[in-house]
A and B are shown apart, each in its own frame.
Chain A
Amino acid sequence: MNYNWNWHIFFEPNPTGAGTYLDMLMSGLLLTIKTALLAWVIALIFGTIVGILRSLPSKTASWIGFGYVEFFRNMPLLVQLFLWFFVLPELLPRSAGLWLKQLPNAPFWTAAIGVGLFMSARVAVQLAAGIASLPRGQKNAATALGLTTAQGYRYILLPMAFRIIMPPLTSEFLNTVKNTSVAITIGLIELTGQARAMQEFSFQVFEAFTAATAMYLAINIVVVTGMRFLERSLAIPGYITGK
């Protein structure tokens, strides 16, 4: 292979005039982390609501939950971001659309919300499965104690279900981090975007993407370690995840 390796490239100034190539990648890394965290918070909030809807006895509620989940998980994430960013403002009245388009940081908010909603469908399915995995007696016991449905969920079902689904939630958190890389399609210059920019400026393709890979690995190792700790302290003795 005829390739001119240059690992010092990271310490050379980048052409945008703001620091080195490494600084460029680091700013991308920071944006990836910010987007992923916001997306994950959105995914947890909406995932919880929809997961509960899916497990309620009401037919209407479970149909709404079903519709939501199928809408968000059956469309590629790339297409969803594109729809949110380019199509939604055109469907609104002209002035509202223009206002939406000219919001500062539009790619960031669109990406965080888009990835968040996409992941929320997956969280919802897992939460519903977690609730379904509880013995029916728990719900009946809650009712027998005189708790309302809301109280039953709040004090009995949800705390148990969340603790059971911790391990798959770890995977979903990791997926959220990785999925933010799709946001480059709507102009969010996160880690993948910066690696591409570095490659275009310097033509050092392999160095740029090796560094980006290492950075994604590093974030995910932090996530896995943190979540492993959380999983262990929250595991319920006697259930699949507890010992």
Chain B
Amino acid sequence: MKHRHIIGCLIAGALCAGPAMAQELTGTLKNIKETGAITLGYRDSSIPFSYLDDNQKPIGYAMDICYKIVDAVKKELKLDKLEVKLNPVTSSTRIPLLANGTIDLECGSTTNNTERQKQISYTNTHFLTASRYVTKKASKINSIDDLKGKSVVSTAGTTNIKQLTEANAARGLNINIIPAKDHAEAFLMVETDRAVAFVMDDILLASLVAGSKAPGDYVISKDAFSKPEPYGIMLRKDDPAFKKVVDAATAALYTGGEGQKIYDKWFTQKIPPKGLNLNVPISSELKNEFAKPSDSPDPDSYK
């Protein structure tokens, strides 16, 4: 019995090791070639990056970019057919699902920073956003200093709440910081007057305001808590072959002018399902980045 057990282990080991040595493709590319499928992770309510339309189909700016990447992967592997599988992710599940191979790309609005790069890689930045706040016009908050002593909400576990905490300490604002579970709930706190302001990425604030009951009641601040920070599409770390294909695909998209077209479609025109228009023309920083695509996590490199 004991011998048979050992032999079993040896056979299993040989089977696993065998094909890896024979193939020249590695990692994700190898996997895509073998299964004939690539899996995209999407967010269900990250408007306009990645969200569900009225047919429960994921659409958005990041999804469009991901489909372009899929085309490039298909061409690279010389496949006739490449099946695209879609898998929903949340901010809690995106890392485990990427790590265990359930998804190959995360198409959403994930901030690219140095800390996170220890765990995963990003392709070229597709958006830049700064940390700002939304208030009701009626509360007459005109600058960060006007928030002194007030209740301000931000989403727990985001870089934004961290910046708010730092600014609060550095400028002695004495703000009562309320952490909320997600963006929708944080916005609800401003809507119901539990907080006077909500600190978040300005683009997410714009989409929350556009989708609210009375968009005219809210104003997004001019003052920012941070420099514009990059969003990137996530892929597994230590997979240089796949990253090369994805980087080349996104770089070609941005420098060729098509990136700008996709941007305009989602940020300056009416988007489904409710026909909202976010009215956020491309920033000069992002225009520069499109000319010279980069996956740097450093906000200073995007000037």
* Chain A residues in the interface with B (C-beta under 8 A): 1-4, 6, 15-17, 86, 89-90, 98, 101-102, 104, 106-107, 184-187, 189, 193, 196-206
A28 to B198, CA, bound (A): 23
Q: Which single residue of chain B is at the shortest CB-CB distance from A94?
A: B193
The answer to whether B236 touches A201, judged by C-beta atoms less than 8 angstroms apart, is no
The answer to whether A200 touches B158, judged by C-beta atoms less than 8 angstroms apart, is yes
The answer to whether B116 touches A184, judged by C-beta atoms less than 8 angstroms apart, is no
B268, chain A: closest CB distance, angstroms: 30
The answer to whether A15 touches B176, judged by C-beta atoms less than 8 angstroms apart, is no
One of B118, B157, B166, B189 near A200 (C-beta < 8 A): B157
Given A2-B99, A17-B169, A197-B157, does the pair A203, B116 have CB atoms closer than 8 Å? yes
The answer to whether A2 touches B185, judged by C-beta atoms less than 8 angstroms apart, is no
5 more CB-based (< 8 A) A-B contacts, given A2-B238, A197-B179: A1-B99, A2-B101, A102-B194, A184-B156, A201-B159
Given A101-B192, A201-B157, A205-B95, does the pair A2, B237 have CB atoms closer than 8 Å? yes
A-B interface pairs (CB < 8 A), number: 90
- Can you identify 16 A-B contacts, CB atoms within 8 angstroms? A2-B236, A4-B119, A16-B165, A89-B194, A106-B194, A185-B185, A187-B181, A189-B156, A198-B157, A199-B157, A200-B156, A200-B157, A201-B115, A203-B118, A203-B119, A203-B120
Q: Which residues of B contact A17 (CB under 8 A)?
A: 165-166, 169
Q: Does B91 contact A (CB under 8 A)?
A: yes
Given A101-B194, A102-B151, A199-B92, does the pair A187, B239 have CB atoms closer than 8 Å? no
Q: Which residues of B contact A89 (CB under 8 A)?
A: 192, 194
The answer to whether B162 touches A201, judged by C-beta atoms less than 8 angstroms apart, is yes
Q: Which residues of A contact B158 (CB under 8 A)?
A: 200
Given A86-B192, A193-B156, does the pair A199, B95 have CB atoms closer than 8 Å? yes
Q: Which residues of A contact B189 (CB under 8 A)?
A: 187
A111 to B194, CA, bound (A): 16
Q: Which single residue of chain B is at the shortest CB-CB distance from A2?
A: B236
A201 to B92, CA, bound (A): 11
Q: How many residues of B contact A (CB 8 A)?
A: 37
Q: Which residues of B contact A206 (CB under 8 A)?
A: 96
Given A1-B99, A1-B101, A6-B118, does the pair A196, B165 have CB atoms closer than 8 Å? no
Q: Which single residue of chain B is at the shortest CB-CB distance from A9?
A: B118
Q: Does B180 contact A (CB under 8 A)?
A: yes
Q: Does B178 contact A (CB under 8 A)?
A: yes
B152-187 near A? 1/0 per residue, CB < 8 Å: 010011110010011001000000101111000100
A37, chain B: closest CB distance, angstroms: 22
Q: Which residues of A contact B179 (CB under 8 A)?
A: 187, 189, 193, 197
The answer to whether B181 touches A185, judged by C-beta atoms less than 8 angstroms apart, is yes
The answer to whether B95 touches A2, judged by C-beta atoms less than 8 angstroms apart, is no
The answer to whether B162 touches A16, judged by C-beta atoms less than 8 angstroms apart, is yes
The answer to whether A187 touches B193, judged by C-beta atoms less than 8 angstroms apart, is no
Closest 5 CB pairs of A and B: A200-B157, A197-B157, A203-B119, A3-B99, A101-B194
Q: Does B55 contact A (CB under 8 A)?
A: no
